[in-house]
């Protein structure tokens, strides 16, 4: 039992060490190997937990908005759409997703609709003031912490999952410790020297000042913890009591094959591969905002009723 408990924390401890010592290496390796698999496994997890909660037409509205975002990002990858226009489409997509929350099913509750109005209003304000890059950066960082919302939503359905929720919470304290400087091995600037521009998408080069290395380490660590939670911890907990796997074997094989292809793409052309990956990552990240807001702010499910998913 003791060895098993140590094993549970071995991966987070290793990630913490690597994020502090070699954040760039950890970022590149984890993104290339686990980026696309995490998108696919997370989408499968969301589908299993939430697809049956709301009407099909509501999901079709989400899908139409996300498809428009994906088309814009694909055009950017192909070189026919500018970066600035793509960023505007990203915020417009989230603005429209907020509107979809407002028109959620009748039993969603007013707190859900108010959250949708606030989300749409915030995106409108950001677009009006031109704070697009800042908003996308904040959303990207916040998205790393979405396993917290998923874990606590699982705990709302099943009190037996509270231990998992607290464990995930403890994991995401680690990046905050890096930011606060409480970890005794601060990020080494030499670990990213010469190739620091590869992390500019996580934190622009002129941001962070003297604390930039620590912030980058924290962001990279939170991203890796996100991968760990959605690929390992949450699906494993969802299968207790034993249930069918998130995806059938043939779908898992296709997912692994695609992951290997994009991993090779990263080796030959990192920038283009990153743009292509952004098509899938953007869709999965954006769909989580309406889904998790409705899941967490909606009425607490009746534990006596069987789950419809």
Mean of the pLDDT values across residues 203-213?
Answer: 72
Instruction: Return the structure tokens found at 149.
Output: 């919302």
The 8 Å CB, 24+ separation contacts for 97-100 are 97/62, 97/65, 97/286, 97/287, 97/289, 97/290, 98/123, 98/289, 98/290, 100/58, 100/61, 100/62, 100/65, 100/290
The owner of tokens 């994009």 is: 262
User: What's the whole-number mean pLDDT along residues 272-291?
Assistant: 92
- How many alpha carbons lie under 13 Å from residue 243 in its C-beta half-sphere? 14
Query: Two tokens at 34?
Result: 């686990």
The residue ranges of every structural domain in the chain are 2-297
**Using one digit for the tens of pLDDT, what is the confidence trace for 117-137?**
999 999 999 998 888 888 888
Q: Which run of H or of E encompasses 289?
A: helix 270-297
The pTM is what?
Answer: 0.87
Q: Average pLDDT, whole number, for the chain?
A: 84
Question: Residue 165 — very low, low, confident or very high, per pLDDT cuts 50/70/90?
Answer: very high
Confidence of residue 208 (pLDDT cuts 50, 70, 90): low
Are the CB atoms for 255 and 62 separated by under 8 Å?
Answer: no
Residue 7 pLDDT class (50, 70, 90 cuts): low
Q: What is the pLDDT of residue 4?
A: 54
Model pLDDT, residue 184 = 43
Integer Cα distance of 114 and 98 in angstroms: 9
> Tens of pLDDT along 8-54?
678 888 998 898 888 888 999 999 999 999 999 999 899 888 888 88
241: preceding bond cis by omega (within 30 degrees) = yes
Start-to-end CA span in the chain (Å): 33
Whether 164 contacts 8, CB under 8 Å: no
Q: How far apart are CA 263 and CA 250, in angstroms?
A: 20
Distance CA 102, CA 80 (A): 33
Distances (CA, A) of 304 to 25, 53, 134, 158, 240: 48, 16, 44, 11, 18
Of 245, 204, 192, 222, nearest in space to 30 by CA: 222
The residue-averaged pLDDT of 175-202 equals: 63
Whether residue 67 has pLDDT greater than 90? yes
Averaged pLDDT for residues 174-203 = 64
Question: Is pLDDT above 70 for 185?
Answer: no
| pLDDT for 143 beyond 90 | yes
If you average pLDDT over residues 177-182, what whole number do you get?
77
The pLDDT tens digits for 222-243 are 999 999 999 999 988 876 555 5
Q: Write out pLDDT tens, residues 43-65.
A: 989 988 888 888 888 999 999 99
CB-facing half-sphere around the CA of 219: CA atoms within 13 A: 23
CA distances from 172 to 119, 200, 216 (A): 24, 22, 15
CA 215 to chain centre: 18
């Amino acid at each position: 039992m003791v060895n098993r408990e140590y094993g549970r924390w071995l991966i987070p401890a290793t990630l913490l060490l690597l994020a502090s010592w070699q954040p760039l290496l950890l970022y590149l390796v984890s993104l290339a190997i686990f980026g696309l698999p995490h998108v696919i496994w997370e989408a499968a997890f969301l589908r299993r937990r939430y697809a049956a909660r709301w009407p099909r037409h509501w999901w079709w509205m989400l899908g139409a908005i996300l498809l428009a975002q994906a088309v814009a990002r694909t055009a950017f990858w192909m070189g026919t759409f500018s970066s600035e226009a793509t960023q505007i489409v990203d915020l417009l997509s989230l603005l429209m997703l907020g509107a979809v929350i407002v028109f959620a099913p009748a039993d969603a509750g007013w707190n859900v609709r108010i959250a949708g109005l606030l989300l749409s209003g915030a995106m409108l304000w950001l677009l009006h003031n031109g704070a697009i890059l800042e908003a996308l950066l904040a959303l990207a960082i916040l998205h790393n912490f979405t396993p917290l919302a998923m874990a606590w939503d699982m705990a709302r359905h099943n009190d037996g999952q509270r231990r998992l929720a607290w464990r995930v919470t403890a994991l995401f304290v680690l990046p905050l410790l890096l930011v606060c400087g409480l970890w005794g091995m601060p990020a080494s600037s030499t670990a990213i020297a010469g190739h620091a521009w590869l992390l500019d998408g996580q934190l622009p080069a002129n941001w962070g000042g003297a604390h930039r290395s620590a912030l980058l380490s924290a962001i990279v660590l939170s991203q890796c913890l996100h991968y760990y939670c959605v690929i390992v911890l949450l699906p494993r907990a969802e299968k207790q009591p034993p249930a069918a796997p998130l995806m059938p074997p043939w779908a898992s094989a296709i997912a692994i094959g695609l992951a290997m292809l994009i991993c090779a793409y990263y080796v030959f052309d990192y920038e283009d591969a990153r743009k292509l990956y952004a098509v899938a990552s953007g869709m999965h990240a954006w769909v989580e905002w309406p889904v998790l807001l409705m899941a967490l702010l909606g009425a607490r499910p009746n534990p006596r009723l069987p789950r419809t998913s």
